[in-house]
Structure 1
Amino acid sequence: MMKAFFTSIFLLAGILVFSQNTDSTKNQELSLLFLGDIMGHGPQITSAYDAESKSYNYDDVFKYVKDIISEPDYAIGNLEVTLAGPPFKGYPQFSSPDALAKACQNAGLDVLVTANNHSCDRGGDGIKRTIQVLDSLNIIHTGTFQDQAERDKNYPLIIENDCMRIALLNYTYGTNGLPFPAPTIVNMIDKEQMKKDLEVAKSKNVDKIIVFTHWGSEYQLLPNEYQKSNGKFLFENGADIIIGAHPHVLEPMVWEKQEAEEGKESLIVYSLGNFVSNQRKRYTDGGSMFKMTFKKEGNKTFLKDAGYILTWVYTPTEDNKKKYYVLPAAQYENNAEFFDNSESYEKMKAFIKDSRELFGTENVAVPEYKYVDGKWQIQP
């Protein structure tokens, strides 16, 4: 009887120790991947159309980057089109088939930000339908809202795992002069409103605050004063990380690590460029994915690492149709045999060279992920 008693005590103690160890080894990191502009030009719509089934499919776009996108805890992209329904059109007022959002979901994208200069391309109904489509696919989103009540309830967006909470905010410099009719809302870069939103974010018991901004001068490789001024304002009012989009080309990434020692991050990515588009001119035919990992030790959360993966849009002709594939550039830079012609390969290499020259000169403490022995590794 006594032996059975002590056996029960030892078993109970073992269970308690195991439980404590399990709790103490819960995931103490959270990884994020950011994508640039997900565009929907007319030729992309044509490429996605299957005449036989009379349906659209964009899955091929993500074929070569799906493993990268699906790996982190959260993958976040800038949806720079509306999902407003037919007629489907590209520039200048975009409405893409719902299949584009479905392909994002299939590829592993978890969050789409929707505040950009094309948010109002199809008016209030377009704003609402875009939100409704994303909701129907259970894709998390932020930046535009059907009304004030929805914004009050869901903003700022909180993304989290078992040990960490991150606030994500999203704003745009404008909507190409197209107003958003009441009651719909598109978040604008307005200092008074952003300051209020940052205060709300800080009240949500979050570990870090990220702001995804749509800003800058198109096709310029360096940030303008508007970006610098608003970036400084956001940092001063509580932002830790700023991710930028809109210029359709890459712009520098700056990580001021010394401020992190005081518990405050200061990392800004001025522009991620195009993730996918039909733009083929120099600098516009690619972009970058930006990956970072937060780590928590006790009550302190800090940015453990951050780096970029260059991407390039490959557009071969297959079965008499122009295709769109986003390639992780470093993985294919020494694989000329992969490409249908030498011109495509040389254009990708030119994009890689341009990007590395820009980042090599202008980046601060943000290195490149290279593909080494079948793995993506940060290269000093």
Structure 2
Amino acid sequence: MSNYPFSYKLSWLPRFLKPSLAGDAQDFAPMAGTLMDPPPKQAVRLVFVGDISAVANRGAPDCAPEVKALLGAADLVIGNCESPVVDRPSAVLGTKLGTHHAMSELFLAEALAAAGIAREKLVLSLANNHVFDQGVAGFDETVGALQRLGIRTVGLAANGPVVPVQVGPLDIGFAAFTLWRNVDENLFAGRVSMDSDEVRRRRDGVDLLCAVPHWDWEFRHFPRAETRALARRLVGQGVGLIAGHHAHVVQPVERIDGTIVAYGLGDFLGTALARQPWPGRIGGILVVDVSADGGSRGAVASYRLHPFMRLRAGDHERLVPVEALVGQMRGKAEGRLRAIFPASSSEGGVAA
């Protein structure tokens, strides 16, 4: 049984059809910001993407050159693996309807190649509500498939609350967890992290502690008060960077005592339905430069959220920078972004 409130379940379809803009952008930070001026002499680039699924894609996506260049220039890409990676779904009807997610190992490999993401530079979180959509066997198959592909994973209970990853000269610690589940809690226990309180300050051997939470409510552009309170608690536990998932729409950025919090990056590859309403097709790619200089080692030097749109192209999607859109769709997308981010952030298009 899932742990979603009944009122939330009732609101899912209305909010999917019309994502909520209830909130105030002025409470948050711009789409881009510089925290170190002058910039560090040496830095590593972390690039965060949203949820990854095959629900809206029968084939690999088409990615605009600007998107591929942005992802290809990363020292490390971090995202959320929203679909179990299985050869044959066990939940056949649910998978056809889109309520249960699944993608093949071949699809994932081809999608990453199409997006210019090198597998050895990729970290995927498995801490999400869909991780058991194909049962425990599907979960085990997913872990094995990602290992075969050479993709590192976070959010597994067996790996502990913080997973260190060496990125150039830096050691980055990743703490991934989900607040939501679609099945009974006993399936998650001992397999997937659901406890945000396990994240503790761990500076020994870690230059930066980064949280990757699956939190908040879907199809709301502004985070709930409870989500913002949790962000502040994580900052108090030593987390220096937070990039969240689950909302399936772009959410704002907040700066808390020097920590950058990107509440929601939307979907990187469509995860709801193939014919999703346009506000849910806006995604964000978060680029963060982290200092590797001696005096500021592990500090965030700058960040920028690059918005893009997922457009239908037959049986798959095209990922296009918002600034490359034309006509009415560009105006609608830019208007939505202005409603989410303070006016000073209007410069935030995709750029390599």
Pairwise TM-score range, normalised by the shorter structure:
0.7 to 0.9
Unaligned 5+ runs, structure 2: 1-40
Inter-partner Cα distance in structure 2 for 1:279 and 1:355: 21
Does the alignment pair 1:76 with 2:55?
Answer: no
Inter-partner Cα distance in structure 2 for 1:111 and 1:212: 11
Identity %: 19
More strand by share: 1
1:92 maps to what in 2? 99
Inter-partner Cα distance in structure 2 for 1:169 and 1:324: 30
Does the alignment pair 1:359 with 2:352?
Answer: no
Partners of 1:80 and 1:114 within 8 A in 2:
yes
Residue deviations 1:215-269 (CA, integer Å, cap 9, x gap) = 111111111022112111111111111111111111110124xx4xxxxx31111
The within-5 A match list for 1:113-152 is 113-144=125-156, 148=158, 151-152=159-160
1:220 maps to what in 2? 220
Inter-partner Cα distance in structure 2 for 1:79 and 1:182: 16
Q: 1:279 to 1:245 in 2, by over 3 A?
A: farther
The within-5 A match list for 1:40-59 is 40-41=54-55, 43-44=56-57, 47-48=58-59, 58=60
Shift in Å at residue 176 of structure 1? 1.4
Q: 1:310 to 1:183 in 2, by over 3 A?
A: closer
The match for 2:296 among 297, 300, 303 is 300
Partners of 1:279 and 1:285 within 8 A in 2:
no
Partners of 1:253 and 1:366 within 8 A in 2:
no
Structure number with larger C-alpha Rg: 1
The match for 1:188 among 176, 194, 197 is 194
Inter-partner Cα distance in structure 2 for 1:223 and 1:40: 26
Q: 1:62 to 1:293 in 2, by over 3 A?
A: same
Does the alignment pair 1:252 with 2:243?
Answer: no
Partners of 1:171 and 1:212 within 8 A in 2:
yes
The within-5 A match list for 1:20-59 is 28-41=42-55, 43-44=56-57, 47-48=58-59, 58=60
Q: 1:217 to 1:161 in 2, by over 3 A?
A: closer
Does the alignment pair 1:314 with 2:305?
Answer: no
Residue deviations 1:99-128 (CA, integer Å, cap 9, x gap) = 232135422151111111101112221111
- The one-letter amino acid paired with 1:269 is A
Q: Secondary structure at the match of 1:355?
A: helix
1:112 maps to what in 2? 124
Inter-partner Cα distance in structure 1 for 2:133 and 2:107: 17
Shift in Å at residue 184 of structure 1? 5.1
2:231 maps to what in 1? 231
- The one-letter amino acid paired with 1:80 is E
Unaligned 5+ runs, structure 1: 1-26, 49-57, 260-264, 337-344
Inter-partner Cα distance in structure 2 for 1:190 and 1:308: 25
1:24 maps to what in 2? none
Q: Secondary structure at the match of 2:342?
A: helix
Q: 1:367 to 1:308 in 2, by over 3 A?
A: farther
Does the alignment pair 1:175 with 2:176?
Answer: no
Matched residues, number: 298
Inter-partner Cα distance in structure 1 for 2:145 and 2:178: 21
Does the alignment pair 1:161 with 2:167?
Answer: yes
User: Stretches of 4+ moved more than 6 A in 1?
Assistant: none
- The one-letter amino acid paired with 2:310 is V
Q: Secondary structure at the match of 1:81?
A: coil
Inter-partner Cα distance in structure 1 for 2:210 and 2:49: 14
Inter-partner Cα distance in structure 2 for 1:129 and 1:216: 28
Shift in Å at residue 367 of structure 1? 7.0
Inter-partner Cα distance in structure 2 for 1:190 and 1:298: 30
Q: Secondary structure at the match of 1:283?
A: helix
Q: 1:63 to 1:136 in 2, by over 3 A?
A: farther
Q: 1:111 to 1:103 in 2, by over 3 A?
A: farther
- The one-letter amino acid paired with 1:108 is I
Q: 1:81 to 1:112 in 2, by over 3 A?
A: same
- The structure, 1 or 2, with the larger RCO (C-alpha pairs under 8 Å, 6+ apart) is 2
Inter-partner Cα distance in structure 1 for 2:265 and 2:85: 22
Provide the TM-score with structure 1 as the length reference.
0.72
The within-5 A match list for 1:364-375 is 368-370=347-349
Partners of 2:43 and 2:293 within 8 A in 1:
no
Q: Secondary structure at the match of 2:138?
A: helix
Partners of 2:307 and 2:349 within 8 A in 1:
no
The match for 1:286 among 282, 287, 294 is 282
